[in-house]
A and B are shown apart, each in its own frame.
Chain A
């Protein structure tokens, strides 16, 4: 009865504090709009700029330019690849090509050496003193550069084998998992933003818990025989509803903006519910160490930035493995439940994996939620709910 009363009261207060609610619910969709404006929603495409300086060579009265031939081969091959899409353009010279890479008009610049044809011809005549030269220029920290370089290297080897008739040592084949081969940059960001919409729940939940302390109504609750668990539980149920609503609104917005998920919606909702619970549990820790909504907004920023920028929600993160449990790596960022949630959503929505495949993530979220809740409830009870 008390539990239900707390839910009803908390629900009414939350609805009447509609500005906070509106901001929490709109955060995810708003981020998606921003990201959609910033990124391309079409499948990932790698832009290659080619500068062919190959002088060519005259063989038996006919002029041959292997550089131009390679460009043709490259365009044909690029179009036939299922996993990776290339768009090829040419530049008049090295300077112009570098300028295109600097301006993000190309991900990589390939310069075909002026003696490219000559060295291939020598190779055909069994003269292996010089090798055909190709130079790659680009931002070595860029993921797009790295992927392009790997594939161009593979295609150059294939071309040289073809024209020289030499045997290829290895043939690389790429198979994309789930929808990963066909999705755009925007699609890659959606799981993270779904989790960001839940991270924002930390503020509404903390404020809901701490408002009783700020208004001093906690004194009345202490004087009534309200069990702390009914208090925590009642508020949590309302926040959980807000969390699920926030994530569904964000997903709906993502779909409207062209996000094509391949996994199961119920599994996604399960991950959202668990992550919401974990965020609510963490909110209890924030509420326990604060006394007012203002303090929540100041103190809460610290974990919010941690969760947003170091859990992989805003952009992919890598962390060293501290130890492994049953083969599942535990990293520093693994101490933050959103990192497991993002991993689970990536597996579900992008790689089309089943619930059984995300069990380690589910268990991690549950364990962390229990730890957060335990710590939060203990401190909150000691600081704000202590009676004789």
Chain B
């Protein structure tokens, strides 16, 4: 189990979680703790096991092995304190925004007057005030996504699980949703899955990178980026050349104390004093017959971390 230094109250404890679908192991021995009032991110490419993990936390899927516990919660039925916003927009097309929020709230035995207030508040916070009495089927994609988040929150759950909450949102809507998720942190534990590294970097307190159902790394986004090493990154975009040329260059680079990661025809060099190494690297590349298309400096990103961990881009 990955541990952090900050003492926190555990909201969800996952131990050796495994889920198999026939021959396929979607989640493989996942162990982690999610703390109360944190925004926890599950980062991974498509098919990494994020949604399967979420479905097991919600109780929609039985676990094959392992255990999920909610130590801070005395209530037995997890359904009452979990709010789930699935990846797909799930709504009643023939009901208005308000009607479906009230309906879903009633399904959770919420008092009607309180429900009405909460529904209006949620619609306001997520920028759907003027769509209160519009049928959901007539909303735009971004609005449907925001309604989907409202539906997950209508019963005021303690744990909110958002599966790809920013998928399909325009920049304005994305900011609105991001602000709202941040505001939720005061009262709730938020788990979000994403393969959008910018989203993960900006709003999560801690982030678990998973792939092939396994936990690769778990820490704050800042600490995760540090795993790539201190200093700057030199990103070299090469022209299409033969594998032998590239491999020859990589072999030569091993003689230098510079960390090198390859992602297709992009080479990433990390070093504390990168600026003074550029000329050296460029010369070696030319000697190896490598044609450089673009050369740029930048800071570490979560994508670098992922490529470093898995050897492939998240978008693949």
Instruction: Give residues in A with beta carbon < 8 Å to B.
Output: 1-2, 5, 8-9, 12-13, 16-17, 215-217, 219-226, 387-388
A sample of 25 cross-chain residue pairs with beta-carbon separation below 8 angstroms, ordered by A number, consists of A2-B107, A2-B109, A8-B103, A9-B92, A9-B103, A12-B94, A12-B99, A216-B90, A217-B90, A217-B91, A217-B92, A219-B86, A220-B104, A220-B107, A220-B151, A223-B84, A224-B79, A224-B108, A225-B77, A225-B79, A225-B109, A387-B59, A387-B79, A388-B59, A388-B62
CA–CA, A8 and B100, complex, Å: 11
Instruction: Give residues in B with beta carbon < 8 Å to A.
Output: 58-60, 62, 77, 79-80, 82, 84, 86, 88, 90-95, 99, 103-104, 106-109, 135, 151, 155
CA–CA, A13 and B137, complex, Å: 12
CA–CA, A223 and B58, complex, Å: 8
CA–CA, A1 and B112, complex, Å: 10
Given the contacts A2-B107, A9-B95, A219 and B62 also touching, CB distance less than 8 Å: no
Interface contact tally, CB-CB below 8 A: 66
Minimum distance in angstroms from A216 CB to a CB of chain B: 5
* B107-A5 in contact (CB<8A): yes
Minimum distance in angstroms from B103 CB to a CB of chain A: 5
* B77-A12 in contact (CB<8A): no
Q: Which residues of B contact A9 (CB under 8 A)?
A: 92, 95, 99, 103
Q: Which residues of A contact B88 (CB under 8 A)?
A: 216
* A224-B107 in contact (CB<8A): yes
Q: Which residues of B contact A8 (CB under 8 A)?
A: 103
Task: Give which listed residue, B60, B99, B109, contacts A222 with CB less than 8 A.
Answer: B60
Minimum distance in angstroms from B95 CB to a CB of chain A: 6
* A16-B104 in contact (CB<8A): no
Q: Which residues of A contact B77 (CB under 8 A)?
A: 225
Nearest residue, chain A, Cβ from B90 = A216
Minimum distance in angstroms from B12 CB to a CB of chain A: 15
CA–CA, A2 and B105, complex, Å: 10
CA–CA, A86 and B35, complex, Å: 92
* B109-A216 in contact (CB<8A): no
Q: In this complex, which of A8, A216, A220 has the most chain B Cβ atoms within 10 angstroms of its Cβ?
A: A220
* B91-A215 in contact (CB<8A): yes
CA–CA, A222 and B86, complex, Å: 13
Minimum distance in angstroms from A217 CB to a CB of chain B: 6
CA–CA, A225 and B82, complex, Å: 12
Task: Give which listed residue, B60, B99, B103, B109, contacts A387 with CB less than 8 A.
Answer: B60
Minimum distance in angstroms from B96 CB to a CB of chain A: 9
Q: Which residues of A contact B90 (CB under 8 A)?
A: 215-217, 219-220
* A226-B94 in contact (CB<8A): no
Nearest residue, chain B, Cβ from A226 = B107
Q: Which residues of A contact B151 (CB under 8 A)?
A: 220
* A16-B94 in contact (CB<8A): yes
Q: In this complex, which of B80, B82, B92 has the most chain A Cβ atoms within 10 angstroms of its Cβ?
A: B92
* B95-A12 in contact (CB<8A): yes
* B109-A1 in contact (CB<8A): yes
Q: Which residues of A contact B108 (CB under 8 A)?
A: 224-225
Q: Which residues of A contact B58 (CB under 8 A)?
A: 223
Q: Which residues of A contact B59 (CB under 8 A)?
A: 223, 387-388
